[in-house]
Structure 1
Amino acid sequence: MIQLADIREWRQHDVVDQDAKKIGTLESVYVDTATDEPSFATVTVGLPTRHRLVFVPLGGATAGPGYLKVAYPKTLVKDSPSIDVDGVLAAEQEPAVFAHYALEYATGAGGERRLARR
């Protein structure tokens, strides 16, 4: 499991898929609010004049020299829900992020958010 303290040091490093195809660069990490463990990352993708941040799960991710390899194909990641580079993930958007990767989504017992940016 990748530790939060370690992954913060990987910001601006390449994010690649399981076939080592570059997806983009690591922008930030979202933790699961129930466990405080890294859960998703946002990756900067797009044209130089039109960047956006896409979400990718960190389950099964591995770190290498200068890159973070995720367990999902580039095309799936690039088609995932996105936010503007200065945007914030709204609570209403969280279920769509999980659904895109066929992951189960549940709010906390009190209805609190599942993801928090760190």
Structure 2
Amino acid sequence: MIQSADIREWRDRDVVDDEGRKIGALESVYVSTSTDEPQMATVRTGAPMRHRLVFVPVDDAIVGPGYVKVSYARSLVKKAPSLGVDDVLPAEEEGAIFQYYGKAYQASAGERRLARR
């Protein structure tokens, strides 16, 4: 699992799926606002002029030399909820990301559960 203290070191590392196939480059890690533990990462994918950021859980991520391996298939991550590279994640859209991956999500209306690091 990615440790909060190490997050800045992993930016721009390759993110690979459970079979070692490259998904994209790590852009940011979002931590839980209640525990400060890493929950999701955004991965920069797409052509250079059409980059977008897709979300992937990092609860089971493994960090290696030059890569971060997630436990989700590349095809699943590529279809995950996404943002433009300059966009901000609205609080009301956080739940859809957790739902996409079949994860529990509980937050009050308008409350943020994730904070970007």
* TM-score, normalised by the number of residues in structure 2: 0.95
Deviation at 1:70, TM superposition (A): 0.4
Matched, 1:114 2:113: yes
The number of residue pairs the alignment matches comes to: 117
Could you list the runs of 5+ residues in structure 1 that have no partner in the other structure? Answer: none
Superposition pairs of residues 28-47 of structure 1, within 5 angstroms: 28-47=28-47
Partner of 1:79: 79
Identical-residue share of aligned pairs (%):
62
Counterpart of 1:3, as a letter, is: Q
Partner of 1:51: 51
**CA offsets, 1:82-102, max 9 Å, x none?**
000011101111011001100
Deviation at 1:8, TM superposition (A): 1.9
Deviation at 1:7, TM superposition (A): 2.6
The SS at the match of 2:76 is: helix
Counterpart of 2:39, as a letter, is: S
Displacement over 4 Å in runs of 4+: none
Deviation at 1:111, TM superposition (A): 6.0
* TM-score, normalised by the number of residues in structure 1: 0.94
**CA offsets, 1:24-72, max 9 Å, x none?**
0000010011101111000000112100000000011001110000010
Partner of 1:25: 25
Matched, 1:63 2:55: no
Could you list the runs of 5+ residues in structure 2 that have no partner in the other structure? Answer: none
Q: Report if the CA contact (8 A) 2:39-2:59 is conserved.
A: yes
Q: Report if the CA contact (8 A) 2:91-2:110 is conserved.
A: no
Q: 1:71 to 1:34 in 2, by over 3 A?
A: same
Distance 2:16 2:65 in 1: 12
Distance 1:90 1:2 in 2: 24
